[in-house]
Amino acid sequence: MKRSRRELLDSVEALADRLDIKNRTRHRFEETKQRVADGARRLREQPEDTFTHPHDPNKKPGAPTTSGWIAIALVASAAAIVLTVAIRAARR
C-alpha cells in the first residue's frame, strides 16, 4: 500500500513538473545561457589570428576571417535565442 502511494506521488510530481511551463522555460534559459557562456569562453581561448587577418595586405588589420564571421553569427544567434526565451518567459 505504501509503495503504491509512493509511486502515485512520484507520478503526480513528474506530471506537475512537466506542466510547469514557467519552471521549464527558466531551466531552458539557464541551459542556453550556460552554452553561450561556454562558447564565448572557447572563442576567447582561440588564437587571435583564427578570427582576424593580422598580416594580410589585402585586408584591413583586425578584419574578421570566415571563421570570425561564423563566430559572430553564432554569438548573435545565441543572444537572439536567449532574448526571445527571456521575453516569452516574462510574458507568462
pLDDT tens digits, residue range 47-70?
A: 665 656 566 666 666 677 777 788
Determine how many CB atoms are found less than 10 A away from the CB of residue 32: 17
Global pTM?
Answer: 0.40
Lowest-pLDDT range, 27-31, 64-68, 73-77, 86-90?
A: 64-68
b/e 41-80 (16+ beta carbons within 10 angstroms → b): eebeeeeeeebbbeeeeeeeeeeebeebeebeeeeeebee
Closest to 38 in 3D by CA, of 65, 73, 78, 72:
78
In sequence order, the β-bridge partners of residue 52 are 64
